[in-house]
Amino acid sequence: EVQLVESGGGLVQPGGSLRLSCAASGFTFSVYSMNWVRQAPGKGLEWVSYISGTGSTMYYADSVRGRFTISRDNAKNSLYLQMDSLRTEDTAVYYCARLGEGFGMDVWGQGTTVTVSS
Amino acid sequence: SYVLTQPPSVSVAPGKTARITCGGNNIGSKSVHWYQQKPGQAPVLVIYFNSDRPSGIPERFSGSNSGNTATLTISRVEAGDEADYYCQVWDTSSHYWVFGGGTKLTVL
């Protein structure tokens, strides 16, 4: 079964750091580009970051560029999001999502909740 | 940056056809993807590349894209189709994945 499982969310103070992980299974992870997408409480979806299958290309939303770093370990079938200098507006459910062959995000994890609050 | 505009809500009676629009400047030149999200669940891809359906998505779901508007059409709407729907495109100029604001589909 194709599956993505996120972990690492939690409560953190403004200015703090958190590292999210996404464990992939059921497909050849290294072939696929991956994304992080977030959803603030009661709000819509917001794309956060993209990484190519080899890890050589990364893109970021303006709202997180310079604070968040996306990475992957293909040997461990894992995707990561290092989040530094967190702000209250970063509070959201964070999803990892696979970029399918048609360039839609065809597999999503269940999400992990990040709460930034003092 | 590129902006996608969706109506906040659409209502439809069971068995009828729902049409959810997604507006963007010359969106017809882009590939549009559509997602369904039910409360408390992760999004699900229902249409990719404007009009293709992933395996497991009913034929009742279809998509079109031309000019400045893309449309998700749901035929013979069922109660289980009630959800939020999001359109999405890749903006090549800014290297940005852009989502529309989402449309809440209510089945009357």
B15-to-A69, A82, B10, B99, B108 alpha-carbon distances in Å? 46, 46, 15, 28, 10
pLDDT, one tens digit per residue, over A74-107 is 999 999 999 999 999 999 999 999 999 888 999 9
pLDDT, one tens digit per residue, over B6-49 is 999 999 999 999 999 999 999 999 999 999 999 999 999 999 99
Interface of B with A (CB under 8 A): 1, 31, 33, 35, 37, 42-45, 47-49, 52, 54, 84, 86, 88, 90, 95-102
Interface of A with B (CB under 8 A): 35, 37, 44-47, 50, 59, 61-62, 95, 97, 100, 102-106, 108-111
Name residue A76's beta-bridge partners: none
- Report residue A85: phi and psi, to 5°: 50, 50
